[in-house]
Amino acid sequence: LSEEEMEGMRVTGRLAREVLDTAIDAVAVGVTTDEIDRIVHEACIERECYPSPLNYFKFPKSCCTSINEVICHGIPDSRPLANGDILNIDITTYFGGFHGDVNETVFVGEPDDKAIRLVRNTYRCLAKSMDAVMAILSSGDYLYASQCSSIITISFRPLVAVGVKYRDMGDVISHQANSGGFSVVRTYCGHGVHRLFHCPPNIPHYTGDLPLPHYSGSYPSSCLWSSNKAVGVMKVGHCFTIEPMINEGTWRDELWPDKWTAVTIDGQRSAQFEHTMIIVGATANTPAMAEGGPPLDVVTARRISGEDKMANVKLPPADALHFQRYGRPHFVDQLHALKKDVFALLSAEETIHPKKP
């Protein structure tokens, strides 16, 4: 992408984040996903952007709403949300010729402990995969960058950036998911996005045969069932999503007769988080760097407006850093509102539970 195209992605990314925040504000017990879809559609119209999912290969709604065992691409309907559900809302906006893509999983009412663990682990899968990109680039004169959103711009000096393999993301994600006893969906993956809604590269979230050399940590043998052989390396101007889908049980999925709704084959729950990233050159004439911004510029990630009710909450250093870099996910605010001990929940150790194919 050119500098002008990157700016176009930042704009549509910010709009996507605004629409997602509006949709999440409407989530409550008894609300239908049809109602959430209506809110999304109207929020897009207010911002003079188009909801990319609507009529995309005959998809009938303006957003995807995936509840409990639905992995992704759930179609909004008249079913009221129930206490204890987990809900993923996936938003893509089209504005100025560019698509901005972001999603989050949130709680409906009061979640059980396993739902909290699943959602927390899934968010960490996304955050740690982005951390891994930073760690790799830091060895090539990586420069740290700005604040939150869901378009994340990763900046590095072109002369020293060797190129991060797209498949490396799967190693980090698989390790994190396995640490909580969860599994990584393999049928669906991250993708390129800009003027096209979906385009190369494909970015699988499961592991390859070998551990990521830049990541310290053990890799359970159960991570190595099948090899991620995705081709390609990250280069300046690339724009793509990372959007891990993590299941409580098996990673295997099946498709409903509507040809869209993907569900876990064992009926157990699934969660997902997504951000869109642009790789930019960290040079003086790069807008983000010229303004003193960081190389990891989450320009459409969540921005807290008004009073922050969690401003005085002490968080584990790793989580606090993730929230600073990528935006604090809504589920953390939900736990705080439920008077859950956010610090204890986020810092609780996860035991490795090797999974069998």
| CA separation for the pair 24, 88 (Å, rounded) | 9
Cβ atoms of residues 67 and 83 within 8 Å? no
**Edge-to-edge order in the sheet of strand 262-264:** 70-72, 262-264, 253-255
Q: Is 198 annotated as a binding residue?
A: yes
Contacts of 166 by beta carbon, 8 Å cutoff, 6+ apart: 201, 202, 203, 230, 231, 232, 233, 234, 240
Q: Is 191 annotated in some ligand binding site?
A: yes
Q: Among residues 144, 169, 151, 157, which one has the least CA distance to residue 277?
A: 151
In the three-class reduction of DSSP (H, G, I as helix; E, B as strand; rest coil), residue 317 is classed as: helix
Q: Which tokens belong to 37?
A: 């879809």
Is 238 a known ligand-binding residue?
Answer: no
Sequential DSSP letters for 141-158:
T--------SEEEEEE-T
Tell whether residue 274 is among the known ligand binding residues.
Answer: yes
Reduced to 3 DSSP states, what percent helix, strand and coil does the chain have, rounded to the nearest 5? Answer: 30, 20, 50
209 is in an annotated binding site: no
Please report, in range form, the residues annotated as the binding site for substrate: 73, 198
Binding-site residue ranges for a divalent metal cation: 90, 101, 191, 243, 274
Q: Which residues are annotated as a binding site?
A: 73, 90, 101, 191, 198, 243, 274
